[in-house]
């Protein structure tokens, strides 16, 4: 069986250009020829200097950025869907059922308790609130967020605490694909180790992951393969 028959993510020759409408429509190339695949239970780390297009590639896989050409194949409910050409409604369905995204920043709703922020992805997919909150509490425990803070909104937390809430929210779902954008950026050594464990558990569950990590040590601990995005740098 060819790898692309089993791949969860199959990116082929994807290209992205930004058009600067306020500057006379100048076209700014971002990446071109992006080609790689990710199998179930595999973590592929994107590497390259800042500005090389790593975050843009993650956003293309998530459907935040439309590619100008090429294909973003995502295995969704058993079929390979091309997010490059999918309808917006289809993109939302893929996000709900297939792709989780852990970004560097928590877009927290004001006045919502931390336990509910973390439990929400499970509740949206039909889990009972009590069970979802139990799972959320277990993850918050592992990420060293004390129980006395669970009823407070994450907006009141420090940057590192907010990042851990974000990680808990991203890892709580049983989605088959996870995109990780600097998940360990503002964490101390103990919590970085917890994230490495969480990633290992997701691999064992067959989750396909694409990650951006600047920390060399973390990269070596989690990467099954490293894709150097400088080879996709679009010539200006």
pLDDT tens digits, one per residue of 155-193: 889 888 999 999 999 999 999 999 999 999 889 999 999
Q: What is the CATH number of the domain that holds 116?
A: 3.40.50.300
Q: Is residue 219 part of a domain?
A: yes
Tell me, yes or no, whether 30 lies in a domain. no
Q: What is the pLDDT of residue 2?
A: 45
The pTM score is 0.91
How many domains does the chain fold into? 1
For residue 201, tell me if it sits in a domain: yes
In this predicted model, what pLDDT tens digit does every residue of 123-158 receive, in sequence order?
A: 988 999 999 999 999 999 999 999 999 999 998 898
Residue 178 burial class via C-beta count within 10 angstroms: exposed 0-12, middle 13-18, buried 19 and up: buried
Supply the DSSP string of 47-82, one letter for each residue. E--TTSSHHHHHHHHHTSS--SEEEEEEEETTEEEE
Q: 223 is in which domain, residue-wise?
A: 38-64+88-231
Residue 145 is assigned to a structural domain of this protein: yes
Is residue 16 domain-resident?
no
Q: Evaluate whether residue 80 is within a structural domain.
A: no
In a domain, 72, yes or no: no
The per-residue pLDDT for range 75-127, each reduced to its tens digit, is: 999 899 999 999 999 999 999 899 999 887 767 667 899 999 999 999 988 99
- The answer to whether residue 58 sits within a structural domain is yes
Q: 1-10, 37-46, 59-68, 224-233: which has the highest mean pLDDT? A: 37-46
């Amino acid at each position: 069986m060819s790898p692309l028959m089993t791949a969860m993510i199959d990116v082929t020759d994807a290209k992205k250009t930004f058009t600067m409408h306020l500057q006379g429509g100048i076209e700014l190339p971002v990446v071109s020829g992006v080609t790689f695949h990710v199998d179930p239970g595999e973590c592929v780390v994107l590497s390259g200097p800042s500005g090389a297009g790593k975050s843009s590639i993650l956003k293309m896989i998530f459907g935040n950025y439309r590619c100008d050409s090429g294909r973003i194949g995502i295995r969704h409910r058993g079929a390979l869907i091309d997010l490059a050409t999918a309808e917006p409604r289809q993109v939302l369905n893929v996000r709900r059922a297939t792709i989780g995204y852990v970004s560097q920043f928590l877009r927290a709703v004001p006045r919502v308790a931390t336990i509910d922020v973390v439990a929400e992805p499970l509740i949206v997919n039909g889990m009972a609130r009590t069970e979802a909150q139990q799972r959320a509490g277990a993850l918050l425990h592992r990420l060293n967020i004390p129980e006395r803070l669970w009823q407070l909104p994450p907006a009141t937390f420090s940057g590192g605490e907010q990042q851990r809430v974000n990680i808990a929210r991203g890892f709580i779902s049983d989605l088959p694909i996870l995109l990780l954008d600097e998940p360990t950026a503002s964490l101390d050594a103990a919590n970085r180790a917890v994230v490495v464990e969480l990633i290992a558990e997701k691999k064992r569950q067959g989750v396909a992951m694409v990650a951006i990590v600047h920390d060399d040590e973390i990269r070596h601990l989690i990467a099954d393969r490293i894709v150097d995005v400088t080879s996709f740098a679009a010539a200006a």
